Amino acid sequence: MKKLLFSVALTMAAGLTAQAQVTKVDEVKKQLETTNLDTVAWTHSGVLSIGTNGGFLHNWAAGGELGSLLINGIFSGRLDRLNHRDIWSNALDMTYGLTYNYSSGFVPRKTDDRIDFTSKYGKLIDTAHNFYFTGLFNFKSQFTKGYDYSLPNWDSVPTSNFFSPAFFTTAIGLEYRKGSDITFFLSPIAARSILVDDYYTLRSPEGAFGVPYGKTSVFQMGAYFSGRYVFNINKNMVFKTRLDLYANYLAKDTKDSTGVVIKKDNPGNINVLFDNLFAWKISKHFNLTVGATLMYDNNMPFSKTFIDENGVEQPKNEPGAGLGWVQLKQVFTFGVGYKF
């Protein structure tokens, strides 16, 4: 009987110890979101959502697309390595979406496409105020070819492709960091390279994506700011926002062979990326994700007209034409999801 009571007591003690250890790990993980701890650990978080939306109509008096299918996916993740006063942080954002419509023969048309990866390594220099001396690398591109579907011959004139363009940014600067949820990075010395196939730069005397006519790359040097904030509303809801600013010190007007200015530019034309994402884990297997991204880049102008197959300039029929050079993207996904 004594042996039995001893075994029961030992089992209960082990269970309580295990529970205490799990609780302690959860508490440390929660602290790391808003506090810089002197510890050695890996931390991670992220949202994955894949959704579909379809429709079918027959003899529908109100009209509409007879058949449609929309598929899109969103991934936003972070992985950090803490090693006492040093921290290595990595963030990856990827999106992709396709729509299939009866009116276009169910030929897939892209609705979203993005690759954005950032890696930073920082060393704590001010314990009291959470400042780090940090080096940063950022890569941006897309997965597949892009088209302007408002053009009559859109499928023969791609506007972009994988690695066309590709943006590479490397910078050294000062970072204010409060856990993994609040980071502000500022660099007065940020080098940026833009790569693109000459197929795109040969189509316009201005070149494409900031790369001069006929060239495949360009080098920029400027100032860079990147701020990120994650707000965990509760264990099932999270809101992420990000603001990136880049000013190119080497920016100047583009001139044609006769010296006429065909595109104005200067260091005051700041590139802007403002990214927002809200994710709600409704149940174990379903997520609701809403995102909005605003971008401005002087190297990616907007034209209200296009040249048709007969060489005649025609106005574009685009509902967002009033936004001008501002790029805007909104996504809404309800489907299978995972939050970690």
User: For 168-182, what is each residue's pLDDT tens digit?
Assistant: 999 999 999 988 889
The fraction of the chain above a pLDDT of 90, given in percent, is 54
Total-model pTM: 0.85
pLDDT at position 112 over 70: yes
Question: Mean pLDDT, the chain, as a whole number?
Answer: 85
57 near 66, Cβ under 8 Å? yes
Do residues 195 and 218 lie in contact, with contact meaning Cβ atoms separated by under 8 Å?
no
pLDDT value of position 306: 66
Residue ranges per domain, the chain? 1-34, 39-339
pLDDT of residue 280: 93
CB of 90 closer than 8 Å to CB of 183: no
Q: Give the range with max mean pLDDT: 260-269, 270-279, 311-320.
A: 270-279
Q: Is the pLDDT of residue 326 over 90?
A: no
Higher pLDDT among residues 22 and 147, named by residue: 147
Question: What pLDDT shows up at residue 125?
Answer: 93
Question: Which tens digit of pLDDT belongs to each residue from 200-239?
Answer: 999 888 889 999 999 999 999 999 999 999 999 998 999 9
Q: SS3 helix, strand, coil % of the chain, rounded to 5?
A: 15, 55, 30
Between CA 135 and CA 145, with CA 139 as vertex, the angle to 5 degrees is: 175
Burial class of residue 310, CB neighbours in 10 A (0-12, 13-18, 19+): exposed
pLDDT band at 325 (very low <50, low <70, confident <90, very high): confident
Q: Retrieve residue 27's tokens.
A: 């508490």
Reference 167, options 286, 325, 300, 20; nearest CA is: 300
For 276-321, the pLDDT digits (tens) are 999 999 988 888 999 999 999 988 877 776 666 666 667 776 666 6
Is there a contact between 193 and 217 (Cβ–Cβ < 8 Å)? yes
Residue of 299, 225, 295, 240 whose CA lies nearest to 264: 299
Phi first, then psi, for residue 32 (nearest 5°) are -65, -15
Looking at residue 110, its pLDDT comes to 95
Residue 97: exposure state from Cβ atoms within 10 A (0-12, 13-18, ≥19): buried
pLDDT at 114: 96
> How much is the pLDDT for 333?
87
Query: Is residue 11 scored above 50 in pLDDT?
Result: no
Q: Which of 160, 161, 196, 175 is nearest to 121 (CA)?
A: 175
Compute CA distances 190 → 36, 164, 245, 302, 328, whole Å: 26, 21, 11, 27, 25
Name the pLDDT band for 198 (thresholds 50, 70, 90).
very high
What pLDDT does residue 24 have? 42
* Strand 313-315 to 305-307 pairing: antiparallel
Cis peptide before 165 (omega within 30 of 0): yes
CA distance 211 to 198: 9
pLDDT at 133: 96
Confidence grade of residue 330 (pLDDT, cut at 50, 70, 90): confident
Question: Quick one: average pLDDT of 51-70?
Answer: 85
Question: What's the per-residue H, E or C state across 43-92?
Answer: EEEEEEEEEEEEEECCCCCCCCCCEEEEEEEEEEEEEEEEECCEEEEEEE
pLDDT band at 195 (very low <50, low <70, confident <90, very high): very high
Mean pLDDT lowest among 49-58, 251-260, 306-315: 306-315
Is residue 322 scored above 60 in pLDDT?
yes
| CATH 2.60.40 for domain 39-339 | no
Nearest 5°: phi and psi at 225? Answer: -130, 135
Give the pLDDT of residue 28: 52
Report the SS3 class of residue 17: helix
Kindly tell me if the per-residue pLDDT of 134 is higher than 90.
yes
| Residue 27, pLDDT above cutoff 60 | no
